[in-house]
Every structure is written in structure tokens, then in C-alpha cells.
Structure 1
Amino acid sequence: MMHVRVYFFVALVRLLTGPSLLQAQPSFSIQDIHGRLERYNVQPSDSLLVIENERYLEAERNGDKLEQAISLQKMGRICYDMGLFAQSLNYHLQAEKRLVKGPKKERADNLNDLALLLLLNNQSEDAKRIYFQALSIYQTSGEIKGQATTYGNLGHLYEKSSNYDSAYYFQQKAMQAFEQINDLDGIALIYENLGSIYEDQERYDEAFTYFSRALDRFKVNGNTSMLIDAYNNLGDVYRKTGNYKQALRYTRQAEKLAKENQALSRLSSAYRDLGKVYGFLGDADSVFHYLELSRQLYIETYNEDTKNQAALLKVLYDIDRKDARIAQLARERQTAIIIYATLTMIGALLILLFVIIIKNQRQKIRSERQLRDQETDLLQAKQRLMEVELQNKKLQEEQLQLEIETKAKEITSHTLQAIEKNKLLEEMKDALTEILKNDSRGYKRELRQLLNKINQNFNKEVSWGDFRRVFEEINQDFFIHLQQINPDLSAADIRLVSLIKLNMNTPDMAALLGISADSLRVSRYRLRKKLGLEPGKSLTAFLQAI
């Protein structure tokens, strides 16, 4: 009874979602589809496909993503009705790309369609994942009917994999949702699904109860397709429980309705079920008769379906070729527009570039002329300024030279005076020393005291502070550089360095410092070590270079 359960499932979705992909199932015949189209006063599938394709192209030209998705979804449902599942899947996938950021209900409806196609392709895990994705969207948007539909879809999925506990759970969830919005037709379809679950488990009493409830509702709402399925299902239950009389009664009701409504696929199922009943009754002629009718009708339906599928495939091919040609023409037109726009832009740019070049050339000439005039004026001003600066510098140099000469004379005079005084003191020292050696009278003590005073003041006659001040004025930054070489130079070292810098001879330096020539040589040696001079390098030349 798997084909009947499929009918139940598809009918549930058809009733809940309106004219959707799930209105039909793979076993529907093309006559049945055309019959429904005629009752609703619409055109056959190939015409509908062309119409929807035109709507899609119009929406594409207008950039309307939602309308594109709706047309793609409808084309997918048309292909599904005709059994072209690969083409249907392609259309629904294209619709999903455009609905990712679109309205939630439309996207969830499309996801339900996608899941069914995957389920038919035995991709049950992918189908389950997408069903739950659709359910989440319905729950977020508060769409109760959509939730009920998806619960029913999940129940069918689990029933198909023989997971009856989960199937029963989701069908009950669907029932609660339909009861919440008082959707009697939806409840009737869930009755059918629950009856199918119990029938699979061979719990025929429960199956009969739910199929009977569904039958009563389908009689009221006039859903002929589902009414035929309900009669067939009840006939199956009676046949499986051995009540062949009742089985014949309900199956013949299904046969009658299928004939009246040209539901050829359901009529074929009814013939096949009648053959099974007569088989149990031992009526071989009737078994052969009804099974042969079922086979012929199946072949007729199959051939018609194949023929119409071929026609629809041709329409699809023509649509694809037309779309490809339209796309090619659009690309060619776009290319022509781009080329024309590019050439126009290039021409305009060339003209603009020519104008800019001429304008810039003129501006450049004016700017160069102004720049030359400014440079001439600036050069003249700089020349005058340089002449003034040169004159000022000359005056400053003359003034500085005069100051240097004055300072040099001052320090030379100061130094000569110090030398003369030191020489005089040296002579007095020598004379007094000689007196002390030859005379031993009582004034020897006073002479010794005088000698001591001369020794104590021997080097203090020269005012080294004044000397250094004048020396620094002549030799600016000399002592700074000297301290950088060795910051530990003593005052005596500084005096010796200053005298060497003045190119003073050894006797004069010894006299000025009040030391002997030998002591001066020792002082020079120590100074060389402090300044880090290599042996053989001139101390005087080193200090003159600082």
C-alpha cells in the first residue's frame, strides 16, 4: 500500500499549501493532471510552463527577485507534476538562491518542495535537514499552518524509513497544530496518515478507525481525489482482515469515482485491488480481467505520460534555447552598448584631453613666464642680500680679527709680565739661597721666612682666571673638546695645555709654571698618557688640531 500512502502524503500537502508542487505525486497520470487543469479552467502544463517562463524573464528584466523565485517555483512544480524531477529540482534550487533573504513563508514553502524531491531521490537525511529548516522558519514567523504541514511531511519521511514511533510523534504534532487553527481538512489528512502508519504495523482496527474518520470528512469537503484514496484504503483494510465482501464494496466505490473524474492512475490502482480481492475469492477469471485492465490502463497512462513528458521536455529545450538566445542577444546588446559607450567616452576623453593639454600648455607658458620673473626678482633680491651679508660678514670678521689681536696682545702681555716676574722672583730666590749658604748670622731665620713666602707665592703671580677667560675667547670650545677627550684633567694639566696651545717655548713655560725643565718634561709625559697619544705623535700638533 505504499502508493496509497504516498497519495495521502501528497494530498495533505496539496490541501495545506494550495497549488504547490506537492499537489501531485509521481504516479499521477497526465490525464489526471489535464483533468484538474480543465476543472480549474487553466492551460496544460507545457503552456503553463511557457507562461511562467515569460513571467520569470519579465521579473528578471525588472530586477524583482521575489517574482523570479515565485515563477521558478511554479515551473518546478509543473515539472514535478509531469515526473521531470531533475528539472524540477533545478528550478527549486534556483528559487532558493533568490529566496535566501526573501519572505519567510515563500522560502519555507520552497524548502518543503525541495525536501520532497530529495526524499524521492532517496536522500532522506538531506530531506530531513531541509524539512527542519523549513519548520524553524515557520516557527519563527508564527505560521501555524506551515508548521502543521511540515510536521506531516516529517511524519511521512519517518514512516517511509519504518521509524514508526517518530512518524506517529510528528503526525500527532501536525494534528495538534491543525486543531489549534480548527483546520478540519488538515485534520482529515492527518487521519489518513495515521491510518497508513497503523496499516503498516498491521494494526487494522486503529487503521480502519482513522481511515473512516478521513472518509467522512472528504465526503463533506468534496475532495474527490482524497475520497477515492480513502475508499481504496478502507477496501485494503477489509481485504487484509478477510472481509472480502466489504473490500469489494469500498474498492468499487473508488473505481466508480475514478472513472467519473478520469483519475486514471487511481482507477488503475482500483482495478489492481479488485484483482487482489477476487484472487482471495478464488475467481481466476475476474482476477485476470481486472489485472489486465490495470495493466492496459497503466501502459496507456505511461505512454501518454511519456508522450507528454517528451512534449514538455521539448518545451523546456525550446525555453532553454530561447533563453540562451535571449541571453546571447542581451549580451551582444550589452556588448554593443558598452562598445558604443566606450567609444563615445574615449572620444569625449580625447577632446577633453586635447582641451586640457592646450589649456595646460598655455597655463604652463604663463606660469613659466611668471616663474622666470619671480626667479629674476628673487635672484636680484638674493644678490642684494648676499652683498649686504658679505659686507656685514666682512665687518664682523674685521671686528673679530681686531678683538683677537687685542686679546692676543693682552694675553701675550700678561704672559710676558708673568714670565718677567717669575724670572725676577727666581733671581731673588737664588740670591737669597746663596746668602743663606754663606751667612749664619741671626737674620738667617727672617731670610728663610722670606724665602718660604716667595716659594708659596711663586705661581700665584699669574691670574690664571683672567688668563683662561682671554684664552677661551680666542680659542672657542677648546676646553669643551678637551674635556670630551679626558674629563679627569687637573688644573695644572689645563695650564700646561693652554701654554702649549700658545706655542710657548719650554723655558718660558717652566718659568711661568714655576717648575724646572725636567719637571716640565715629566708633566708633558703625563699629559700625553692622559690624552691617549701614541708614542712618536706630537703633543703640540695634537693640541693645535683641537
Structure 2
Amino acid sequence: MAQVSFAIQDIRGRLEMYDIRPSDSLLIIENERHLLAERLGDKLKQALSLQKMGQICYNTGLFAQSLNYHLQAEKLLERGPRNERANNLNDLGMLLLLNNQRDDAKRVYFQALSIYQRSGNLKGQGSTYGNLGHLYEKCSDYDSAFYFQGKAMETLEKINDLDGIALINENIGSIYEDKERYEDAFRYFSRALERFKVNGNTPMLIDAYNNIGDIHRKTGNYKVALNYTRQAEKLSKENKALSRLSSAYRDLGKTFSFLQHADSAFHYLELSRQLYIETYNEDSKNQAALLKVLYDIDRKDARIAQLAKERRTAIIIYATLGIIACLLVLLFIIVIKNQRQKIRNERRLRDQEAVLSVANQRLMEVELQNKKLREEQLQTEIESKAKEITSHTLQAIEKNKLLEEMKLALTEIIRNDSRSYKKELRQLLNKINQSFHKEASWGDFRRVFEEINQDFFLHLQQINPDLSAADLRLVSLIKLNMNTPDMAALLGISTDSLRVSRYRLRKKLGIEPGKSLTAFLQAI
């Protein structure tokens, strides 16, 4: 059976690029690189360092720790460069396969294959096809295993990757060996052997000699098997490949056992056991040293994480205090600004109020002046109307006095004269008497009086709507403070008749005894 799969050999090949042997010191160096990349915020370099740390742990047999580092690298590479992520997924799939998580390993391998296909990386595709073939071989699905190893061979031949093709031949030979088709297995192992001799890949060359030796032993060619196994033994000793030397001793012991050489079989099996124990102890020491380094790294990382957390907390506190201080300053500025704006607004409002007050004052002065002018104009009109009504009144008085004198003269003539024109004089006297009762001059008088004393007659009508025209004339003359003889002359009645008319007017207006009729009318 093949000793090393394509995936395992791929990791070992990458580890050989290091200048020093994978060890605890190499892990420390990679961890320092990882911390530096983390401080610089370079996620790609962080992921690559984690991937290398995982490979170092794998080579020492610390598979759980290796899986953890590769998973951390995957988180950082999810949106990183395609090929770097696909490389890490291939390593991750191999570790999941070692952990018997075959479904997860298959999913991861197909993810890597998809990335390589999108980027056109044929070497990566060939490597992933080989890994899938190895996975299906472990699942005893040999048809699928052959299919994917064939796809790997086809892909690597396109780029003439001879070393990769040699590894695929090794893997196909392993499948044929599992199916006990030893001739086919021998043919593919031999192709791999010839290539490993050319490229100087000593570890794989040793495995190829061992694999061909196994085929000859399983087909009964024990002496030929011894020759190939001896070659593996020689190369293992020269290169101090203790684990491969132990395998060679074990195969020699089995071969001598089949040849019935019990002493030689026991000798080589004992050498294999002793070397296995020695190798196991050495590996245990290396693992212990590496575990101690991992413990120190974890403790250091925990301390760094704690310090980072404390630093972040401090930064948050300082940032919060800074923000609060800025907010307070901003609030202070806003308050001051608002206060100043308020003062400016109040000042502007006071100025506006002052301007408005001045404008109102000027407007009031203008209104007052206009009112004064209107009052003066009204007073002038009143005086004019008063003069007019006074003139009318005086004219009426003069007219009535003249008529009264003519009446008296004519009356005297009629009484003493017996001539025949007595009739004509009596007719003239009647006309004079009738002139006392004409309403034309009273109409003009009432119009002027109402202009001076607005709503006066309306108020009287509200007190007593049954007032006669004679009552209204008497009221008007009393309102004008006219004396009794003048009122009697204007009304064409005697003073006694005037007293009777005043008495009747008091009753109509409902004026109580003792109260002045003149004062009552002046108050309306």
C-alpha cells in the first residue's frame, strides 16, 4: 500500500521550503510574524502565518492544533486571494479526512476545486483532483477514486508537471494495490519511481522503493522484494529518515519471514520495533516541546488579547470622555450662540418696537391732528349751521314781529274805520294770519337743526311717538335756549298759549313735576 498520499506529500513539499527544520522555534517565528501582521492589519499575511503554523503542527503529529490554525486562516481568507484560500482549503480537507470527517472534507475539496477553476490554476486543480481521488479511495469508492485520479493526471499533463504526474501514478498504484491488481499497481509505482529518481525527491523515492517491494512480496517475488526494500533501507539511513527506516526494517522482517529465515526476520522486526519506539519517543519529545510552545503562545496571546481588550476599553473610555467633552463644548457653544442670537433678536425686536412705537406715535399724532382738523371743520360747520339757523330764526322773528305790528295796525283800522274797504282789509288780515302757519320756513329750519343735533328727533320719537309737528317746533326752540317772547312770536301764539303748550309737552314727555323741561331736552 502507498505510504504517502498526494495531500500529505504536498504539505511536506511546502515545509521543505523553510530554511530550518519544522520545530518549536519555527512555530515561535511564525507566531511572531502572525502578531506583526495582526498589528499591521494585514489579513493575508496573518492567514499565511496561521496556515504555516498549522502545517508545522501537522508535521509534528498535532492534528487538532493544526486543524484549529487552518480554520482560523480560512476565516481570514474567505474574501482574500483565491489561490491562497484554495491552498488552505486543501490542507483543511486533508485534516478533516484524518479526523474521519469525510463529508466535510469532500465539501472543502470541492470548494478549493471551484476556486482553482475560476482562477484557471491547472496545477491547483490537478492537486485537488488527486486529493478527491485519495478521499474516495479511503471511502472504498474505487470507481470515483479512479475517476478523480484520472482527472488529476489529465490536468497535470496539460502543464507537463512531471513531479505531480509521478505523485498521481503513486496514488493510482495505491488504488490498484487495494484492489489486489498487483501488476497494474507495479506498473504505476514503477513510473513514479523513475520520476522520483530524476527529480531527487528522496522521501518519495524511499516510499516508491517500499511500495514496489510490497508488491513483489505480495506476489511471492521475495528476493526481488528484498532488493527494493534494501534500497529503501539504504536511502533512509543516508537521509536519517527514521520513520521510513522503521518501515523498511518491518518490510525486511516480513520478507525474511516468508523466506523462512526466522533469525533475520526477528532481527529486522526487532530493529523496526526499537526504531519505532525511538522515533515515537523523539516525536513525543518534539510534540511536548511544541505543545509547551503552543501553551506559551496561547498564554501570551491571551495576555495580548487581555491587554488589547483593556486598551480598547481605555480607548472607549477616553473616546467617550472626549465625545462628552466635545458635546459639552458644543453645547456651551450652542448655548452661547443661542444666547447671543436671543440677545440680537431681543435687540432687533426692541429696535423694531421702537420704530413701530415711533411710527404709531407719528400715526397717532397724524390721527390726532386729523381728528383735530375734523373737529375744527365740524365746529366750523356747526357754527355755520348755528349762524344759519340763528339767521333763519331771526328772520322768522323779524317777519313775525312785522306781521304782528301789521296785524295790530290793521285791527285798529278796522275797529275805527267804517269805510267800504273794510272788507278788503279783513281779507288782508286773514292772509297775514295764515302766513303764521306756513311750513316752508319751518322745513328749512328743521333740516338745519337736525344737521346740528343729529338723532335728536329720533330720541324724542322713542320717548313718545305721538308728538305733533307743533310739539316738535316748540321742542326745537327750547333746545336753542330761545326766550319765551321770541318763541311765542315764531310760533305765532301768545305767551299764555305758549305756557299751555309747554305744560302739554311736559305731560307728553313724562317729565315729573319740579324738573326742568329745558334741562331735560338739553340732555338728549
TM-score band by shorter chain is: 0.5 to 0.7
Partners of 1:346 and 1:8 in 2: CA distance: 62
Match of 2:69 in 1: 91
1:73 to 35, 47, 51: 51
Match of 1:256 in 2: 234
Match of 1:532 in 2: none
Match of 1:13 in 2: 10
Matches within 5 A, 1:352-431: 352-374=330-352
Shift of 1:14: 4.5
3-state SS, counterpart of residue 14 of structure 2: coil
Shift of 1:114: 0.7
Partners of 1:251 and 1:297 in 2: CA distance: 16
Shift of 1:341: 4.2
Per mean C-alpha deviation after superposition, the further-off stretch among 321-330 and 173-182 is: 321-330
Match of 1:45 in 2: 23
Partners of 1:355 and 1:171 in 2: CA distance: 75
Match of 1:315 in 2: 293
Match of 2:38 in 1: 60
Partners of 1:381 and 1:59 in 2: CA distance: 78
3-state SS, counterpart of residue 182 of structure 1: coil
Alpha-carbon displacement from aligned partner over 1:354-382 (angstroms, at most 9, x marks no partner): 45434432432332243245357668979
1:336 to 314, 332, 351: 314
Structure 1 spans left out of the alignment, 5+ residues: 21-35, 392-546
Distance 1:375 1:225, change over 3 A: same
Shift of 1:332: 2.4
Alpha-carbon displacement from aligned partner over 1:298-342 (angstroms, at most 9, x marks no partner): 111112111111111111111111122122222323333443444
Q: Higher relative contact order at CA 8 Å, sep ≥6: structure 1 or structure 2?
A: 1
Partners of 2:330 and 2:130 in 1: CA distance: 70
**Contact between 1:12 and 1:186, CA under 8 Å: does it hold in 2?**
no
Matches within 5 A, 1:286-297: 286-297=264-275
Match of 1:180 in 2: 158
Q: TM-score, normalised by structure 1?
A: 0.63
Partners of 1:44 and 1:207 in 2: CA distance: 33
**Contact between 1:11 and 1:226, CA under 8 Å: does it hold in 2?**
no
Partners of 2:332 and 2:308 in 1: CA distance: 35
1:211 to 182, 186, 189: 189
Structure 2 spans left out of the alignment, 5+ residues: 371-524
Shift of 1:267: 0.9
Partners of 2:334 and 2:164 in 1: CA distance: 76
Among the aligned pairs, what percent are the same residue? 75
1:228 to 206, 224, 239: 206
Shift of 1:138: 0.7
Q: Does 1:163 align with 2:160?
A: no
Q: Does 1:194 align with 2:172?
A: yes
Distance 1:10 1:340, change over 3 A: closer
**Contact between 1:207 and 1:237, CA under 8 Å: does it hold in 2?**
yes
Partners of 1:155 and 1:175 in 2: CA distance: 11
Match of 2:257 in 1: 279
Partners of 2:204 and 2:357 in 1: CA distance: 107
Match of 2:485 in 1: none
Match of 1:265 in 2: 243
Partners of 2:340 and 2:162 in 1: CA distance: 89
Q: Does 1:139 align with 2:117?
A: yes
Partners of 2:155 and 2:231 in 1: CA distance: 32
Shift of 1:157: 0.7
Shift of 1:228: 0.6
Partners of 2:184 and 2:271 in 1: CA distance: 32
Shift of 1:287: 2.1
Shift of 1:202: 0.9
Q: TM-score, normalised by structure 2?
A: 0.65
Shift of 1:12: 4.8
Partners of 1:331 and 1:273 in 2: CA distance: 56
2:78 to 78, 85, 100: 100
Q: Which amino acid aligns with 2:313?
A: T
**Contact between 1:235 and 1:251, CA under 8 Å: does it hold in 2?**
yes
Partners of 2:19 and 2:329 in 1: CA distance: 64
Partners of 2:60 and 2:357 in 1: CA distance: 95
Alpha-carbon displacement from aligned partner over 1:478-533 (angstroms, at most 9, x marks no partner): xxxxxxxxxxxxxxxxxxxxxxxxxxxxxxxxxxxxxxxxxxxxxxxxxxxxxxxx
Partners of 2:338 and 2:142 in 1: CA distance: 87
3-state SS, counterpart of residue 19 of structure 1: helix
**Contact between 2:7 and 2:94, CA under 8 Å: does it hold in 1?**
no
Match of 2:403 in 1: none
Q: Which amino acid aligns with 1:19?
A: R
Q: Which amino acid aligns with 1:157?
A: L
Q: Aligned-pair RMSD on alpha carbons?
A: 2.5
2:132 to 149, 154, 162: 154
Which of the two has higher C-alpha Rg?
A: 2
The size of the alignment, in residue pairs, is: 366
Partners of 2:302 and 2:360 in 1: CA distance: 78
Match of 2:92 in 1: 114
Partners of 2:67 and 2:5 in 1: CA distance: 22
Q: Which amino acid aligns with 1:204?
A: Y
**Contact between 1:135 and 1:150, CA under 8 Å: does it hold in 2?**
yes
Partners of 1:271 and 1:43 in 2: CA distance: 25
3-state SS, counterpart of residue 170 of structure 1: helix
Distance 1:382 1:71, change over 3 A: farther
Partners of 1:122 and 1:87 in 2: CA distance: 16
Partners of 1:100 and 1:203 in 2: CA distance: 42
Shift of 1:65: 1.3
Partners of 1:51 and 1:170 in 2: CA distance: 38
Alpha-carbon displacement from aligned partner over 1:28-74 (angstroms, at most 9, x marks no partner): xxxxxxxx68xx64154211111111111111111111111111111
